[in-house]
């Protein structure tokens, strides 16, 4: 066999390539994204005493996500007149790429991590700061009033929650002394899960990451009842699927990061393999965040900005003081 | 494979820098500037400066590009640039640019300065943070004061407009 | 590792593009783009020299952290000024903004 072909076959069947493409990479992200769509609708329905998706398969409508994808693919593609086609299509595509890149940084099991960077935690948070830029571009490119208002709201929302998000993760870094995500998990292996000393930080992290993901109660940019789906309003059939995808991928990524930072990642008694522990913890966090959606009303923009800069900022500084006291007080750290 | 990575990153950076200045629409220019910053972050990662690369992504692309996009969208569409005329300033610019490129070319043909292959203690993250806090702690505090001054200045500028 | 001259060449080319934009363009926002390009060229230069000297030192990265923060601040204040000027004048062509001249 000629040499480039052997090299290509070696590349395709190497573990690294399988990790990137199949698991925990692109194909598993796509399948889990469709699964979480169904999961959210079923969970919200049960909380509201409804039944939820039922008919797309014999087992409680579990294939609803895939049915939605097939339906959306057959719809007509109408791009508004005067819209900027390049940014209209490229913004959700770039958001998908960013979501997939976020999942590459997280340790799923000992040794199963696509990118073991020494600065894993700030890299994750830095890539996350790119997403409101894309929402602004998507909202502007639709050449319509409601999407532009949604895009600007995403920008204002970013100024409110960005600093408490980074500061609440800072508490974890102060205690563990490393920015590497695998290092943080290994610290928790020796010294117990970080959710106990950092309970305040964990609460802050969940609140600010819900704000970053633009989920209820912080879903001002895509407020369904106010501005008609906000920045997603003008997106036709197949592109709508492209736009909803990053929301669920970011949910998955943030839940995975929360379980890595505070719940010990893949750690657990050896009766269950580490990867199952990881998914159990991630699904618990995803259920908690989805329950926020059914429970709380939407926060107004001025309320959000005020609370972000007074309450959340003060609490995150208190969290840093608590972390400092733990670092100098407990002698084994 | 380092050569290929460096070549790809350098090409992307320089091409999007030219695009940022020459694109007709300012929003395309701002997006191209964002890609330039991303290429620069890649070059920083290549030079074992991973924390600086992350900082570049978070600050430049996450904040500066958003500010530029916001301003471009609020200022509105502007008239295009006139066709390039041969004036004295352009000639001076061309002279300066060719001088710089000539310096670069002459340096390239001299000894190549291959650097040490592994960075060791020079790029250690712990070393970076201890140096920053121990030796450069006072400039760090001054930097935070300058940040506060910049925020107050920008807020004053915005407020002055509303009072008018 | 690439030799130092390759990184230096990229930095100089970016500097040249930045100076060309700074002197030839008359839209205030394009001039801001050029200034940011010049900042980035200088940062790349500092980090390349700090890494590829023998032995490598970490002071270059410290300096670049400071300059990235300062560049972001300067861009934000500059953008506030541009937005104010456009609100008063509608046009941000720098050749027409000469009321303080002589």
- Please tell me if residue B147 touches chain C, with a CB cutoff of 8 Å: yes
> Chain B partners of C34 at a C-beta cutoff of 8 Å?
21
What is the assigned CATH class of domain B1-77? mainly alpha
Query: For the segment A161-172, what is each residue's pLDDT rounded down to a tens digit?
Result: 889 999 999 999
Question: Domain limits at A143?
Answer: 80-329
Shortest distance, CA B10 to any CA of chain C (angstroms) = 7
Q: What letter does residue B8 receive in the DSSP assignment?
A: H
Question: Which pLDDT belongs to residue C92?
Answer: 67
In the predicted structure, residue B161 carries a pLDDT above the cut 70: no
Whole-number Å distance between alpha carbons of A303 and A287: 26
Mean pLDDT by 10 residues, chain A (333 residues): 70 75 79 84 86 75 79 81 84 89 87 83 92 88 82 85 91 90 89 86 92 80 64 77 85 92 85 87 91 84 86 93 88 62
The ranges assigned to domains in chain B are 1-77, 124-164
CA dist., res. A201 & res. A263, Å (int)? 12
> Is residue B47 scored above 80 in pLDDT?
yes
Distance between CA atoms of A177 and A198, rounded to whole angstroms? 14
Q: What percentage of chain B has pLDDT greater than the value 70?
A: 80
Residues 6+ apart with CB under 8 A from C15: B100, C37, C38, C41, C42
pLDDT band at B88 (very low <50, low <70, confident <90, very high): low
pLDDT at B2: 54
Chains A and C touch (3+ CB pairs under 8 A): no
* CB-CB neighbors (< 8 A) of B50 in chain A: 117-119, 123
If you average pLDDT over residues B39-68, what whole number do you get? Answer: 93
Which residues from chain B sit within 8 angstroms of residue C71, using beta carbons? 60, 64
Which residues from C are below 8 Å from B96, CB to CB? Answer: 16, 19
As a whole number of angstroms, the distance between CA C2 and CA A171 comes to 38
pLDDT of amino acid A14: 75
Question: Is the Cβ–Cβ distance between A142 and A155 less than 8 Å?
Answer: no
Torsion, Cα C68 C73 C76 C80, to 10 degrees, reads: -160
Query: In the beta sheet, which residues pair with residue C27?
Result: C93
Q: Does the beta carbon of B83 lie under 8 angstroms from any beta carbon of chain C?
A: no
Task: Using CB atoms, pick whichever of B13, B96, B131 lies closest to residue C62.
Answer: B131
Cα separation of A321 and A302, whole Å?
28
- In tens, the pLDDT along C63-98 reads 999 999 999 999 999 998 888 888 777 666 777 776
How many interchain CB pairs under 8 A, A with B? 56
Put simply, the answer to whether B65 touches A133 (Cβ < 8 Å) is yes
Selected residue with higher pLDDT from B141 and A10: B141
Helix (H) or strand (E) holding B146: helix B137-163
Number of domains in chain A: 1
Average of pLDDT values for B122-139? 89
Q: B116 and C55: CB-CB below 8 Å? A: yes
Which pLDDT does position C72 carry in this prediction?
93
Give mean pLDDT, residues B65-94: 74
Q: How far is Cα A75 from Cα B118, in angstroms, rounded to an integer?
A: 55
Measured between beta carbons, which residues in chain B are less than 8 angstroms from residue C35? none
Rounded to 5°, angle at Cα A131 from A124 and A62: 85
Task: Find chain B residues with C-beta within 8 A of C48's C-beta.
Answer: 47
- Pick from A205, A201, A185, A209: nearest CA to A326: A201
Between residues A70 and C45, the one the model is more confident about: C45
In this predicted structure, the answer to whether residue B1 has a pLDDT above a threshold of 50 is: no
- Is C81 a member of any domain? yes
**3-class DSSP state of C25:** coil
Task: Please tell me the pTM assigned to this model.
Answer: 0.89
Could you give the number of structural domains in chain C?
Answer: 1
Q: Among A146-150, B93-97, C55-59, which is the least confidently predicted range? A: B93-97
Cβ neighbors of C65 (< 8 A, separation 6 or more) are: B51, B52, B55, B132
For residues A24 and C43, which has the higher predicted lDDT (pLDDT)? C43
**Is pLDDT at B141 greater than 90 in this prediction?**
yes
Residue A3 in domain: no
pLDDT band (50, 70, 90) for residue B112: low
Residues 32..91 of C with a Cβ closer than 8 Å to B: which?
32-34, 36-37, 40, 43-44, 47-48, 50-62, 64-66, 68-77, 79-84, 86-87, 91
> How would residue B15 be classed by pLDDT, with cut points 50, 70 and 90?
very high
| Three-state SS at C27 | strand
Domain that holds residue C23: 4-92
Q: Where are the beta strands (DSSP E) in chain C?
A: none
Q: Is B58 on the interface with A (CB under 8 A)?
A: yes
Residue A164: per-residue pLDDT? 92
- Cβ atoms of A258 and A12 within 8 Å: the answer is no
Q: Do C87 and B161 touch (CB under 8 A)?
A: yes
* Minimal Cβ distance to A130: which of B51, B62, B125: B62
pLDDT higher than 60, residue B110: no
Is there a domain that residue A26 lies in?
A: no
B127 touches chain C (CB under 8 A): yes
Task: Enumerate the residues of chain C whose CB falls inside 8 A of the CB of residue B107.
Answer: 5, 8-9
The pLDDT-based confidence of C25 (bands split at 50, 70, 90) is: confident
CB atoms within 10 A of CB A321: 10
pLDDT at C55: 82
Neighbours of chain A (3+ CB pairs under 8 A): B
Domain of C11: which CATH number? 1.10.287.3510
**Contact pairs from chain B to chain C, CB under 8 Å:** 234
Quick check: B75 and C6 CB within 8 A? no
Q: pLDDT value at position C71?
A: 95
Q: What is the mean pLDDT of the segment spanning B29-44?
A: 95
Q: Does C96 touch chain B (CB under 8 A)?
A: no
B73 contacts on C by Cβ (under 8 Å): none
> Would C28 be classed as within a structural domain?
yes
What is the chain C residue with the closest CA to B51? Answer: C61
CB contact under 8 A, C23 and B158: no
- Nearest Cα neighbor of A160 from A309, A316, A314 is A309
Neighbouring-strand partners of residue C93: C27
From the candidates A115, A130, A184, which should be mutated to test the interface with B, based on the most B CB atoms within 10 A? A130
DSSP string of A234-283, one letter each residue: T--HHHHHHHHHHHHHHHHHHHHHHHHHTS-TT-S-TTS-HHHHHHHHHH
Query: Is residue C99 in a domain?
Result: no
Give chain A's count of helices (H) and strands (E). 14, 0
Average pLDDT, chain B: 83
Using CB atoms, list chains with 3+ pairs below 8 Å to chain B. A, C
């Amino acid at each position: 066999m000629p040499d480039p072909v052997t090299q290509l076959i070696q590349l395709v069947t190497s573990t690294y390539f399988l990790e990137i493409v199949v698991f925990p990479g692109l194909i598993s992200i796509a399948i889990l994204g469709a699964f979480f769509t169904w999961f959210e609708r079923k969970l919200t329905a049960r909380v509201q005493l409804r039944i939820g998706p039922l008919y797309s398969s014999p087992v409680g409508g579990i294939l609803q996500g895939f049915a939605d994808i097939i339906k959306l693919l057959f719809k007509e593609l109408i791009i508004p007149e005067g819209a900027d086609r390049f940014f209209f299509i490229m913004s959700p595509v770039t958001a998908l790429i960013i979501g997939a890149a976020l999942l590459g940084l997280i340790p799923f099991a000992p040794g199963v991590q696509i990118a073991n960077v020494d600065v894993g935690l700030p890299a994750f948070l830095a890539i996350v700061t790119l997403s409101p830029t894309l929402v602004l571009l998507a909202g502007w490119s639709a050449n319509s009033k409601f999407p532009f208002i949604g895009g600007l709201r995403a920008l204002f929302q970013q100024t409110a929650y960005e600093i408490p998000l980074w500061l609440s993760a800072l508490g974890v870094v102060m205690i563990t002394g490393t920015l590497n995500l695998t290092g943080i998990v290994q610290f928790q292996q020796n010294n117990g899960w970080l959710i106990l000393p950092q309970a305040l930080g964990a609460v802050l992290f969940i609140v600010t990451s819900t704000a970053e993901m633009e989920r209820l109660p912080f879903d001002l940019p895509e407020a369904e009842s106010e501005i008609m789906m906000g920045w997603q309003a003008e997106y036709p059939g197949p592109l709508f699927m492209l736009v909803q995808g990053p929301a669920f991928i970011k949910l998955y990524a943030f839940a995975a990061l929360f379980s890595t930072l505070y719940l010990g990642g893949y750690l657990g008694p050896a009766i269950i393999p580490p990867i199952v522990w990881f998914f159990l913890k991630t699904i618990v966090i995803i259920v908690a965040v989805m329950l926020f959606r059914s429970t709380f009303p939407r926060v107004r923009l001025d309320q959000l900005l005020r609370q972000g800069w007074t309450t959340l900022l003060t609490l995150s500084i208190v969290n840093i003081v608590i972390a400092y006291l733990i670092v100098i007080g407990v002698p084994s750290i | 494979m380092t050569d290929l990575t460096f070549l790809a990153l350098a090409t992307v950076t320089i091409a999007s820098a030219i695009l940022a200045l020459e694109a007709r629409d300012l929003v395309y220019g701002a997006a191209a500037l964002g890609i330039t910053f991303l290429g620069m972050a890649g070059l920083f990662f290549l030079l074992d400066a991973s924390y600086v690369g992350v900082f570049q992504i978070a600050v430049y692309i996450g904040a500066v590009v958003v500010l530029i996009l916001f301003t471009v969208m609020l200022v509105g569409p502007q008239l295009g640039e006139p066709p390039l005329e041969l004036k004295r300033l352009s000639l001076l610019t061309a002279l300066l640019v060719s001088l710089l490129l000539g310096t670069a070319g002459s340096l390239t043909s001299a000894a190549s300065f291959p650097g040490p292959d592994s960075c060791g203690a020079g790029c250690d993250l712990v070393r970076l943070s201890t140096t920053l806090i121990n030796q450069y702690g006072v400039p760090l505090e001054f930097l935070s004061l300058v940040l506060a001054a910049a925020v107050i200045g920008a807020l004053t500028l915005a407020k002055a407009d509303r009072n008018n | 590792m690439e030799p130092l001259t390759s990184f230096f060449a990229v930095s100089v080319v970016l500097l040249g593009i930045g100076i060309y934009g700074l002197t030839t363009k008359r839209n205030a926002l394009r001039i801001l783009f050029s200034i940011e390009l010049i900042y980035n060229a200088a940062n790349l230069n500092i980090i390349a020299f700090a890494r590829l000297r023998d032995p490598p030192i970490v002071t270059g990265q410290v300096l670049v952290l400071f300059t990235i923060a300062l560049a972001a601040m300067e861009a934000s204040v500059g953008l506030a000024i541009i937005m104010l000027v456009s609100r008063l004048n509608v046009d941000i062509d720098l050749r027409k903004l000469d009321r303080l001249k002589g």
